[in-house]
A and B are shown apart, each in its own frame.
Chain A
Amino acid sequence: KAGVTQTPRYLIKTRGQQVTLSCSPISGHRSVSWYQQTPGQGLQFLFEYFSETQRNKGNFPGRFSGRQFSNSRSEMNVSTLELGDSALYLCASSLPASSADTQYFGPGTRLTVL
């Protein structure tokens, strides 16, 4: 079974631009979560989507948004990019059978903001 895929793998943007990252979950998984990883803050939860609805949200500004499509694929959008948004963005998918199902991660998208 194919794992979680994320595109693009690398991205370079400039301040003020916006960016969209994509995540395709493992086949059959309906929950998708997003995390930001930076050297200073570590791994932080952004949000979780299940059945096209945001089910949980971390403590990030409104510039960070996401959505999930009917095929469970998810996108994350960051508007008005800031230098501090440079990070590795990781997507994880899980089965919806119960809470706290194991999350399986993709390879991440490394975003650099200049």
Chain B
Amino acid sequence: AQKVTQAQTEISVVEKEDVTLDCVYETRDTTYYLFWYKQPPSGELVFLIRRNSFDEQNEISGRYSWNFQKSTSSFNFTITASQVVDSAVYFCALSEARNDKLIFGTGTRLQVFP
């Protein structure tokens, strides 16, 4: 069965600290897709990144970076030099090749204090 685990319920940091959000997934499929979404207080889910199961290359986008490791079924997200605007709930999600249904983790609430 598919499952996404985000063990960190809430993380608090002070501005400019680096923070890593953990995501562990389970799937029996060999082809699957992983996503990170950000949900600010307004409620809209904002797409951050998509990674295919056959592409383990890590990615960096500005202050954001993602570490995908199939060996440990993890897809962790790091924010470097965090800012107050990064405060939000972050969701990791999984979908399999045979359908478009997203399976979400329970989310990690990140609070960045000035």
Query: How close is B111's CB to chain A, nearest CB, in angstroms?
Result: 17
Bound: A81/B14 CA distance, A: 43
- Chain A binding surface, main DSSP class: strand
B55 part of interface (Cβ distance < 8 Å): no
Q: List B contacts of A44 (CB < 8 A).
A: 104
Contact with B along A35-70 (1 / 0, CB 8 A): 100000011110010000001101000000000000
Instruction: Determine whether the beta carbon of A88 is less than 8 Å from that of B43.
Output: yes
Instruction: Determine whether the beta carbon of A102 is less than 8 Å from that of B47.
Output: yes
Instruction: Determine whether the beta carbon of A31 is less than 8 Å from that of B100.
Output: yes
Q: List B contacts of A13 (CB < 8 A).
A: none
Instruction: Determine whether the beta carbon of A43 is less than 8 Å from that of B91.
Output: yes
Contact with A along B79-114 (1 / 0, CB 8 A): 000000000000100011111111111110000000
Instruction: Determine whether the beta carbon of B99 is less than 8 Å from that of A56.
Output: yes
Choose one: B44, B95, B99, B102; the contact of A35 (CB below 8 Å).
B102
Query: How close is B68's CB to chain A, nearest CB, in angstroms?
Result: 15
Among B32, B98, B99, B106, find the residue whose CB has the most chain A CB atoms closer than 10 A.
Answer: B99
Instruction: Determine whether the beta carbon of B95 is less than 8 Å from that of A100.
Output: yes
Choose one: A90, A99, A102; the contact of B99 (CB below 8 Å).
A99
Which residues A1-58 have CB closer than 8 A to chain B? 31, 33, 35, 42-45, 48, 55-56, 58
- Please list the residues of chain B having a beta carbon within 8 angstroms of any beta carbon in chain A: 32-33, 35, 37, 42-47, 50, 91, 95-107
Please list 19 pairs of residues, one from A and one from B, whose beta carbons are closer than 8 Å in the complex, sorted by A's number: A33-B100, A35-B102, A45-B101, A45-B102, A45-B103, A48-B100, A48-B101, A55-B99, A56-B99, A88-B43, A90-B43, A90-B45, A92-B45, A102-B35, A103-B47, A103-B100, A104-B47, A106-B44, A108-B43
